Amino acid sequence: MKLVAATEHRMIELRPFAELGSAHHGWLDTRYHFSFSDYHDPQRMHWGLLRVWNDDVIAPNSGFPPHPHANMEIITYVRQGAITHQDSLGNKGRTGAGDVQVMSAGTGIQHAEYNVEPEETRLFQIWIMPTSKGGPPSWGQKPFPKAERAGRFVTLASGLADDADALPIRTDARVAGATLKAGTSATYRLGASRHAYLVPAEGAVEVNGVRAATRDGVAVSGEETITVTALEDSEIVLVDAA
């Protein structure tokens, strides 16, 4: 853990990519921002309702065979290539780079995720704890053209009442994305009582003055607003959670 800026009620913690947990399975090269599988760090169990942020690189013609989930909101943000989904509800779909899929596991669902492309797939797998257990499982996907989030944060998935255009999730949280040209900034209104976790998918940024490189994590709490300034052309993903 690297505390970059902290006061009694405010904190910005940089989590460098090189210091994240990791696993290498041949077909899968993954980094863990939080405790997951065989990687356990009692200081990194969750950040508010955010439970998992895995940075996965999946080899061509490979993937995750069918397996179950329950009571978790699972968001997949594809950075490169594509992921092909199928589940026990009969849903099938391909989600390409820059787009998002959401699975509300609810009372229980089985799914598989495969890279059937000729190139490796890179994605963020984000799990957010639901605010209440149960409910029927569901799956959905949506394109989010990068041009439409140029210079500003756009909501990708949300359980907040005002985010009608986003993919729905059953939790007090929002997933947002932005693309910034070098030298430009975007501001996100967080609220001092909430937690944010931000990762530059590409590029390098400053988050309220704290520098973060590609695939670094930045944990924020106690801040009313977050200002992200691009030091290079950058693509940013942010989770805002209670």
Residues 74/102, Cβ–Cβ less than 8 Å: yes
- What's the confidence (pLDDT) of residue 45? 97
Beta partners for residue 100, in sequence order: 77, 142
In this prediction, residue 93 carries a pLDDT of 97
**pLDDT given at position 102:** 98
Domain 2-241 -> CATH class? mainly beta
Read off the pLDDT of residues 200-221 as tens digits, 9 standing for 90 and up.
Answer: 999 999 999 999 999 999 999 9
Q: How confident is the model at residue 3 (pLDDT cuts 50, 70, 90)?
A: low
Looking at the predicted structure, is the pLDDT value of residue 58 above 60?
yes
What does pLDDT average to over the chain?
95
Residue 109 has pLDDT above 60, yes or no: yes
pLDDT exceeds 90 at position 56: yes
For residue 61, name the pLDDT band (cuts at 50, 70, 90): very high
List Cα–Cα distances, 220 to 154, 216, 233, in angstroms. Answer: 19, 13, 22
- For the chain, how are helix, strand and coil distributed in percent, rounded to 5? 5, 55, 40
Show the tokens assigned to 28: 């899968």
Distance CA 225, CA 111 (A): 37
Give the residue, 26 or 10, on which the prediction is more confident: 26
Residue among 173, 44, 66 nearest 114 (CA): 66
Task: Please give the backbone phi and psi of residue 102, each rounded to the nearest 5 degrees, phi first.
Answer: -130, 135
Is the pLDDT score of 5 beyond 70? no
pLDDT at residue 39, as a whole number: 96
pLDDT at 6 over 90: no
Mean pLDDT of 21-25: 97
pLDDT tens-digit readout, 147-200: 889 999 999 999 999 898 899 999 999 999 999 999 999 999 999 999 999 999
Report the DSSP beta bridge partners of residue 154: 177
- AA letter at 234: S
Residue 47 β-bridge partners? 50
Indicate the pLDDT class of residue 143, thresholds 50, 70 and 90.
Answer: very high
The predicted pLDDT at position 164 comes to 86
When pLDDT is averaged across residues 120-134 and rounded to a whole number, the result is: 97
Closest CA to 196 of 228, 229, 151: 228
Our measurement of the distance from residue 12's CA atom to the centroid of its chain's CA atoms, rounded to an integer in Å, reads 18
Long-range contacts of 26-30 (CB under 8 A, 24+ apart): 26/59, 27/58, 27/59, 27/62, 27/63, 28/56, 28/57, 28/58, 28/59, 28/62, 29/56, 29/57, 30/54, 30/55, 30/56, 30/57
Question: What is the residue-wise DSSP string for 54-97?
Answer: EEEEE-TTEEEEEEEE-S-EEEEEEEESEEEEEETTS-EEEEET
**What is the distance between the alpha carbons of residues 72 and 107, in angstroms, rounded to a whole number?**
9
Domain positions in the chain are: 2-241
pTM assigned to the model: 0.95
pLDDT of the residue at 25? 95
Strand pairing of 173-180 and 234-241?
antiparallel
Residue 44 has pLDDT above 90, yes or no: yes
